[in-house]
Structures are given as C-alpha cells and as structure tokens.
Chains A and B, each alone.
Chain A
C-alpha cells in the first residue's frame, strides 16, 4: 500500500489531479449556489403564504363594499375613509380603550405577583421548594374548564359580573406560566452574585429588587409582553364576564358581534380586524428578541 504524495507524481499526473480538484471545487460551489437558490425560493414561497392573509385583510379593509365583493386584489379607489368610518359607525374607540385598560392592569398584576414567587423558587433553598414547583407546573397543565364554573360563581356572588374585575383581579394572584418562565431565567443567574450581596448584609427583599430584578429585565419584559398579549387577544374571559354590558365590550367581543350590525359594510370587518391586529404587530416588531427568547426559555430548557 504505497500512496504517492503530490510532489512525488509526474507533472502531468499532478496537473491532471489539480484540474480535477479544481473542477470538483467549482462544481461544489455550483451545488451550493443551487442549494441557496432552492432554499430561498422555498422560503420566499412560504413567506408569501404566511403574509397572504394579512395582505388580503389590509387590502379589503381599504375597499368599498362593491369592490370588496368583486374579489379584487387591489383597492380602487383607496377608501382611507374606512378607517375613520369605523370609529363613528361602531364604538370602536371605546372597545379599544376597554381592551387597553384590561390588558395594562392585567400586565401590571401579573408582573407584580409573579416576580416574588419565582424569586423564592429559584434563589432560595427551603423545604418544600421542589414540591411547590411541581404544583405550579401541574396547575399550568390544568384545563381551565375544570375551575371555570366555580370561579364564575364566586364572581357572580361578589356581584362582579358584568365588570372588568373578573378579568383583572385574578392576574394579581400570579400566573403559573409567568412564575415558571421567570424561575427558569432566575435559575440561570449565578449564585455567587447573591452570596456576595448577602455577605455585605443585603436583605433578601433588597437583593431581589435591586440586584436580581434588574438582571432579569429580559425575562420580566417577556412575561409582561405575554401577559399583555394574553389579555389583548383573550376572547373567552370577556365572553363570560362582560358580554352582557356593551359599554364594557373589548375588541374581541365587539368584532365577533360585527356581523349583527347591519348598518356597516361587511368588508369593514376587515378594517376592524386590521386595527385590532395592528398594535400587536407593532409591539412584535419592536420586541421580537424578547418574544423569541421568552418562548425558547419555556419551551426547550423546561
């Protein structure tokens, strides 16, 4: 078994091999290029499919009724006025403010009530900690339908139906999901930081608020965002608790009732949908990183 090195070969042979490898390299580059083109066309095709419904919503939202029914794909003329009519034809501003109010208070409640439990579950060692964590995980898995009826009865007995209170108050008593997400993040902060602070005589409360919370800003913004979107997009809660009083309607309830409003053109449903989606999409563009890290934190490292 003797293999020749390139230097030992005759010049002709060497040239032949080099030409061959050059050819191989070139064909490899060509292959890579083909792969790239293939991948990008597939990605662009998929992107088009994902975007198409959003595009259609926006386009239809800018048409007049007649044109919308002709199933055109481009508004002619552009009915920018639709976006004003929607506010005068239906109480759209009121729905928006209601939704915003519920979502903001719900977010505040969730953040305030989820940080402390997550802190003691991750940064302190105590008997029963593991047990508590298991309970939190199992409540996360619990279908809401099982508790829904008695909770409804509690709120009914408190005379809180219809009002915003049933939508807001529970968020001040922790969400299992937020505790879980925060706990995953807190656990990743090195223990030495806490030890150093404790040796310097820092109290636990101060340690939590002044050291750990600032370090956990990404995770806290993630739970705040999830909580906000959760209430903004929520339909079932408002359906149970506020549907009886139109003054309290949120965007979801209002939009769902749209078909019954005969004085508005049906394609205005798309105008309303576009306005309902818009804040969420804007928020997403500004905070994409927080989102994606938050989802990854709960999904993979679990």
Chain B
C-alpha cells in the first residue's frame, strides 16, 4: 500500500504536475448517519413498523377500540368467499387498469409525438397539453361531474349540436361512468406525456435521416426507430401505471359522491379498503385487503419485469438490469 502511494506521488513530481497525491478520503460515518437519520426515522415509524403491524393485523379482528383478536385466515376466507363488494371492487379495478393503462400510454405517445412535429410554437402547445395535469384531482373531478352532467352540463348540448342525438349519461350511467373516469384521466395525461416527449427528443435525428434516405415511410421509422428507443419509458409508465391504478381513489370517490353511484360502478379496490377501515372500522379486514393489494401489485410488476428483457431496449444499460 505505502509503496504504491510513494510511486504515485513520485509520478506526479516527475511529470511536474501540480496535483498533490490524492489522500484516501475518510468516510465521515457520523455525518452520513446524521444525514440519513430523518429518512431512517421515517422508514422505521412510517414504513417498516406499519408494514409489520398491518401484516399482523391482517390475521386479526380489530376495531380500533378493543385490542386485535387473532382469527387466523378468516379475513382472507371472508374476502374471497363471502365478500361480494371485494369481487366487485376487484373487477372494476382490473377493468379500468386493463383499459386505461394501455390507453394512457398510447395517448401520451401520440400527444408527445405530435408535439415534436412543429418547428414553431411547440412550447405553447406543450403548456396547453400539460396544464390539465396540474389541476387538483378534486377540482378536476367536480368540473367533470358538472360539465358532463346530462341535465345541466354543456358537454351533451355540444354533442347534440354536432349531431349526436342520444349522448351518454356519463357519470350517471353505470355503463359509462368508468369511461368518463378514463376520459378524466386522459385529460390529465400531461406528466406522462412530458416523459415521453423527453424520450422522443432524445432519439438522434441522424437515425431518422438515415431511415428517410433508405426510403422508410413515416410509420416505418416510427415503428422501427422511435418505438424501440422509447420502450424504457413505456416500461416505466407501465409499472407506475399498475401501481397507481390499484390505488385509484380520489377521482372515483369524489365522482361517486357527486352522482350517488348506487350501482357501485365506480367502487374500486382502494375505495373498498377505505370503507372497510374508516367507515366500518374493520381495521383487521382492511389490513388483509391492503396486503392482497400489495401482492397483486407485486405480481403485476414482476410480470412486467420478467418480460422486459424481450421488449425493453436499453441503449446504455439500466437500473433494473
């Protein structure tokens, strides 16, 4: 060790370099610990302990007042075999995820792609496309329940004006309510779109030039150049989409509160957890629901992770390799 040190400094002197030999940096352990301590505290009290506690509670009957009573697997049995609301919520959630995640990704790619086209005015369009994603979820949902209201909202009047005789009843029709929520989600596509836009602008122009010299059509250069190069972004939004859609709550809760959703067409998994925990005060059962949610999310993420080797294309290596 010492020999190499001497050699190193001799080397510097010989070349007349000004840099002194580099001292091995002492790792300031106390400093590191102090810096991490707020995070560590949060991790223990707001993540680790609650996870353990809710895992335990998922095997108990617990109503906040009495202490938890161990009931084994009864919560899970009840969930799968006795609770119709659980199946309803699960079905609704799977349905909206299966439709809205791919739709959101396609729409975000389309919006970002069309934004890369103009030479002038891109920033104005980008601002407009992005703006709705800033709107608070409650305000946006209130606005949609009002303007899509078949009785006094202007949207249906506009649709009638352009020749659609019987426009849907949107939130008021159980067959359409989820579609209306999907439209609300597509309206706030901005943040996903921005990520895709950055990905699209990262694609080297030389590739498109080469393709157009070879006589590739617009669709071909999109399919064989753009699409492979943005697969990491598609992967990222797929994973975050799955995680997000199983926690989908605010819009559905506010909308169903506004329109009295008797048929429970906007009753989602997260809503079911909320009602079980904070309306029925069945904390044990709600914990069991939450753990099933975690397992489902993990499984979906794992499936996407497993398949990513086949379709995700990393030019410079990836974090998830």
List chain A positions with a Cβ less than 8 A from chain B.
Answer: 35-36, 39-40, 42-43, 46-47, 50-51, 53-54, 56-57, 60, 68-69, 71-73, 112-114, 116-117, 119-120, 124-126, 132, 135-136, 139, 141-154, 156, 170, 172-174, 179, 195, 198-199, 204-205, 229, 232-233, 235-236, 239-240, 251-252, 255-256, 258-259, 266-267, 269-270, 272-273, 276-277, 280-281, 284-285, 288, 291-292, 295-296, 299-300, 302
| Nearest-CB residue, chain B, relative to A126 | B27
Given A117-B38, A149-B287, A179-B39, CB of A281 within 8 Å of CB of B131: yes
Q: CB-nearest residue of chain B relative to A144? A: B247
Q: Interface residues, chain B, CB within 8 Å of chain A? A: 20, 22, 25, 27-29, 31-32, 34-36, 38-39, 41-43, 45-47, 49-51, 53-54, 57, 64, 111, 114-115, 117-119, 121, 125-132, 134-140, 142-144, 146-147, 151-155, 157, 187, 191, 194-195, 198-199, 202, 232-233, 236-237, 239, 243, 246-247, 249-250, 253-254, 257-258, 270, 273, 277-278, 283, 286-287, 289-291, 293-294, 297, 301, 319
Query: Which residues of chain A have C-beta atoms less than 8 A from B25's C-beta?
Result: 125, 198
Q: Compute how far the CA of A60 lies from the CA of B239 in the bound complex, rounded to whole angstroms.
A: 38
Expressed in whole angstroms, the Cα–Cα distance for A232 and B286 within the complex equals: 27
**Given A68, A239, A292, which contacts B152 in the complex, CB threshold below 8 Å?**
A68
* Closest A residue by C-beta to B52: A150
A162 to chain B, nearest CB (A): 13
17 A-B pairs whose Cβ atoms sit less than 8 Å apart in the complex:
A39-B114, A39-B118, A50-B128, A50-B129, A51-B131, A53-B187, A56-B143, A71-B153, A116-B34, A143-B297, A146-B51, A147-B50, A149-B283, A256-B142, A277-B140, A292-B194, A300-B236
List residues of chain B with CB within 8 A of the CB of A139.
Answer: 43, 47
Residues of A within 8 A of B39 (CB): 113-114, 117, 136, 173-174, 179
Query: Which of B20, B140, B142 has most chain A Cβ within 10 Å?
Result: B142
- Please give me the residue from chain B that is nearest to A51 by CB atom: B128
Q: Are A300 and B195 in contact (CB under 8 A)?
A: yes
Task: Determine the residue in chain A with the shortest Cβ distance to B243.
Answer: A141
Q: Which residue of B lies closest to A135 (CB)?
A: B43
A57 touches B147 (CB 8 A): yes
Nearest CB of B to A302, in Å: 6
Q: Count chain B CB atoms within 10 A of each CB in A36, A148, A198 and give the residue with the most.
A: A148
Cβ-neighbour of B138 out of A142, A276, A284 (below 8 A): A276
Give chain A nearest CB distance to B314 CB in angstroms.
Answer: 11
Contact (Cβ within 8 A) B42 A142 = no
Q: Are A149 and B191 in contact (CB under 8 A)?
A: no
Contact partner of A229 (CB less than 8 A), chosen from B132, B134, B250, is B134
Q: A150-B50, A204-B28 are in contact. List 5 more A-B contacts (CB 8 A).
A: A39-B117, A146-B294, A174-B38, A205-B31, A300-B232
Chain A residues with CB under 8 A of B128:
47, 50-51
Smallest CB-CB A-B distances: 3 pairs: A173-B42, A299-B195, A116-B35
Q: A145-B247, A149-B287 are in contact. Are A259 and B257 (CB under 8 A)?
A: yes
A289: nearest chain-B partner, CB-CB: B123
Q: Which residues of chain A are near B278, meaning CB under 8 Å?
A: 152, 240
Residues of B within 8 Å of A146, CB to CB, are: 50-51, 54, 290-291, 293-294
B76 smallest CB distance to A (angstroms): 15
A136, A145, A280, A302: the one within 8 Å of B136 (CB): A280
User: Which A residues lie within 8 Å of B43 (CB)?
Assistant: 135, 139
How distant is the Cα of A173 from the Cα of B136 in the complex, in angstroms? 24
Quick check: B154 and A73 within 8 Å, CB to CB?
Answer: yes
**A204 CA / B25 CA spacing, docked (Å):** 11
In the complex, chain A residues whose CB is within 8 Å of the CB of B233: 299-300
Residue of B with least CB distance to A255: B138
Assess the A300–B202 pair: CB atoms within 8 A.
yes
**A156 to B, closest residue via Cβ:** B64
User: Which B residues touch A170, using CB under 8 A?
Assistant: 42, 46
Residue of B nearest to A141 (CB): B243
In the bound complex, do residue A292 and residue B27 qualify as a contact, i.e. CB atoms below 8 Å apart?
no
Q: Known: A71-B152, A71-B157. Is A251-B136 also a contact (CB below 8 A)?
A: yes
Q: Knowing A43-B118, A145-B247, A170-B46 touch, does A113 contact B142 (C-beta < 8 A)?
A: no
- Kindly report which residue of chain A lies nearest to residue B42, judged by CB atoms: A173
Return chain A residues, CB-CB under 8 Å to B290.
Answer: 143, 145-146, 148-149
Which one, B50, B202, B239, contacts A151 given CB within 8 A?
A: B50
A250 to B43, CA, bound (A): 27
A10 to chain B, nearest CB (A): 30
Contact call B142/A273, Cβ cutoff below 8 A: yes
- Give A273 Cβ to nearest chain B Cβ, in Å: 4
Closest Cβ of chain A to B79, distance in Å, is 14
Task: Tell me the complex Cα distance, A72–B54, Å.
Answer: 52
Which B residues lie within 8 Å of A153 (CB)?
53, 64, 283
A273 to B152, CA, bound (A): 17
B47 touches A235 (CB 8 A): no
Q: Are B31 and A204 in contact (CB under 8 A)?
A: yes
Q: Cβ of A147 and Cβ of B27 under 8 Å apart?
A: no
Q: Report the separation of the CA atoms of residues A120 and B41 in the bound assembly, to the nearest whole angstrom.
A: 16
Note all chain B residues with C-beta closer than 8 A to A173.
38-39, 41-42, 45-46
